[in-house]
Chains A and B, each alone.
Chain A
Amino acid sequence: MRILLVEDEPKMLAFLKQGLEEQRYAVDTAANGDDGLHWALNFAYDVIVLDVMLPGMNGLDICRELRNQHIITPVLMLTARDTVDDRVLGLDCGADDYLVKPFAFRELLARVRALSRRDSYQKATTLTVGDLLLDTVTHTAKRGDTPIELTTKEYVLLEFLMLHPNQVLSRTVIAEHLWSYEYAPDSNVVDVYIRYLRKKIDDDYEEKYIRTIRGTGYQLADSHHP
């Protein structure tokens, strides 16, 4: 999952980035409004965490502009302003959720998770495809009753695939959602991680969930899907 974090207070930005990355998110950051808008318009994110009071363009205007340009990425607004009017204004500008500072970090995480479920038909916090189970809160995976140990990158790849089950996802798209701008690799690296994942979840089983669609990308689907 790739997150755009727009926050002008440097310490806050640093802590949030660290916290989110430790929770397996790929995080891009911007410290002012104009940069934030630029990132949001040019890259695909799963969630945008947006501070309201920013130098340059403020969070409300950024959100409006994103919606005007038909960017439907879920937006979580952060602010120290807590009145009903402020919340209403924020939500009416197109934000999907609103968190008042100071907040507990784990609440931020929970809301980010909720927002990333928004456009998926997978509403449970536990994702299931066939007998493959992924708990997005505890970050654990199981096939049947067998727990599966995954590295961070393997986990996020599986999570991404399971959030878009039956969809054919290109390497580029997968790469975009798994790495931040800083660390973005060649999309071939995706092939390697698919290989790692297959080893852990498919190799020992007859039914293979991860399929290669030649010339296009990869798909995670169960046997019911043609």
Chain B
Amino acid sequence: MLLGITQVIVSAVLYSAISSWLENQVDSNLLLTATQVSSVLYDAEDSKLVLEDINLQLSGGNIVTQSFLRDQLFFVRVVERSSGAIVADSADYHIPVTAQMRSPIARFDTVDFGDAENEVTAVRIYSLPLSYDPQFALQVGVSLGDTREIQGDMLGILGLLLAMTAIFAPLSGWFLASRALVPIRATARTAAEISETDLTRRLDLAASEVELERLVQTFNAMLDRIEGAFQRQRQFTADAAHELRTPLSIMQTGLDVTLSQERSATEYRAALTAVQEEVGRLSQLTNTLLMLARADSRVLPLAHDTVNLAALLNAVADQFASFAEDKHITLERQVAPHLLVQGDEDRLIQVALNLLDNAVKYTPPGGNVRVVAEPNHGWVEVRIEDSGPGIPLADQAHIFDRFYRVDHARNRSQGGFGLGLAIARQIVELHHGTIAVTSEPGGGAHFVVRLPLHQGLIAV
């Protein structure tokens, strides 16, 4: 549209400029002719207007030299100003002398003249009172027919151009735009087709324009992240399903076999006990999974109490004291007094139990387990270190993953589902803390938990 307005303005300017020029040309030619003729008519010797044979002089000779005027309706005449009588005339038609033309001052006039064929033409007349005999005025006139024609043609051409532009510009604009849109549409189509069932697809970078490159890359990176998240979710679901199914299948097979024939009371008791144990495992697992699910969706109820972490750690360590002794493991403690944190005491106990249980479980007899807790720049740092076989580097990155067990066969005889550390991490992070492990193979595992230190009075 901007183009259209510009064009209209340009056309208008162009038209009026050329139009004016044409009209000025006519006028200046008339002026020139008048000046020439007036000098021809002046008899220098007698200092007067020569009126004899003026018609001859006017029509012949070299007066009319401009070819421009040659084919025009053209006349040169002398008029007596006071009466308006035409004294001499080169043409055989008479354009009336208007009052204005009799003015003592040289002037231009435009008059409409209908000629013999009744065609009306505009005629431009220049009236020049003769300086040497002012009672007479020389008039030079020419039709504006051709001029008008040119003006009309010009208008026509400009109008046509305008119309063409009006049609062509939007067409080409639309064409260019749609060309540019094609890669965008293709990209959008691919993006729409990607669903959670087919997250492996990526947008084709090569097919897109350079302008889209950045967008496509960002989009693909996002798809990578989403695919990763879905993958982890699928893995977790598959693992959870497996863990849930194992106790169920034990119960089912146990009951099926036991009930398939008459048994003694002892046999029934043994079978029912086995089922009972599995029910216990199943319940525990269900609770754990529920907790994880709630923590995931942030609806896990967490208490916000002031917890005496030092007392907590000491109590948990006490719990393991006799067990460690039986296994001939030394249990060292370096727990600083007065360590307070904000949070849920039960859950924090769970974390401590889990870490200490792992430490004692994986340390061979004769080894040692250390529990260290101290303040460190606004944090409480808790380190639980064992002298067991350590954790291989490849496993260290995954050890906090759900259902991850270093022994990949998920051996239940060691107990646990591989969820302990996953829960520990969840709890620690919900308390705005961090948990990490460092381990040298053969040098034991060192777990470090950091929690925000709470400045305040000790809860008694």
Contacts and interface: CB of A to CB of B under 8 A. Distances in A.
Nearest to A100: B245
Majority secondary structure of chain A interface residues (helix, strand, loop or mixed): loop
Contact of A101 (B245, B254, B258, B274): B245
A214 interface: no
A102 B252 contact: yes
A19 B252 CA distance: 12
A80 B249 contact: yes
A10 B250 CA distance: 9
Question: Which bucket holds chain B's interface residue count?
Answer: 20 to 34
Contact of A15 (B241, B242, B257): B257
Interface residues of A, number: 29
Given A18-B257, A102-B249, A105-B260, A82 B409 contact: no
Nearest to A20: B257
Contacts of B238: 81, 83
A94 to B, nearest CB: 20
Contacts of B413: 10
A55 B411 contact: yes
Looking at A18, A58, A83, which has the most chain B CB atoms within 10 Å of its CB?
A: A18
A83 B409 CA distance: 19
A108 B409 CA distance: 24
Contacts of A58: 409
A82 B241 contact: yes
B407 interface: yes
A106 interface: yes
Nearest to B271: A15
Contact of B242 (A16, A33, A56, A80): A80
Nearest to B274: A11
Interface string A49-70: 0000111101000000000000
A53 B253 contact: no
A8 interface: yes
A101 B409 contact: no
A101 B249 contact: yes
B311 interface: no
Interface in B216-267: 238, 241-243, 245-246, 248-254, 256-258, 260-261
Contacts of B243: 80
A12 interface: yes
Interface string B408-445: 01111100000000000000000000000000000000
A155 to B, nearest CB: 16
A105 B241 contact: no
A90 to B, nearest CB: 14
B401 interface: no
Given A54-B409, A81-B238, A83-B238, A101 B246 contact: yes
Interface string A106-148: 1010000000000000000000000000000000000000000
B336 to A, nearest CB: 42
B256 A9 contact: no
A47 to B, nearest CB: 17
Contact of A55 (B246, B251, B277, B407): B407
Contacts of A22: 257, 260-261
Interface in B97-155: none
B250 A15 contact: yes
A80 B407 contact: no
A33 B241 CA distance: 22
A84 interface: no
A12 B253 CA distance: 7
B345 interface: no
Contacts of A55: 407, 409, 411
B278 interface: yes
Given A18-B257, A19-B257, A105-B256, A9 B412 contact: yes
A104 interface: yes
Contact of B249 (A12, A54, A81, A106): A12
B252 A80 contact: no
B250 A12 contact: yes
Contact of A53 (B257, B258, B260, B409): B409
A104 B249 CA distance: 9
Interface of A: 8-12, 15-16, 18-19, 22, 32-33, 53-56, 58, 80-83, 100-106, 108
18 contacts: A8-B409, A8-B412, A9-B250, A11-B274, A11-B277, A12-B246, A15-B253, A16-B257, A22-B257, A53-B242, A81-B242, A101-B245, A101-B246, A102-B245, A102-B251, A103-B253, A105-B256, A108-B253
Given A19-B260, A100-B245, A102-B249, 7 more contacts: A9-B412, A12-B249, A15-B257, A55-B407, A56-B409, A80-B242, A106-B256
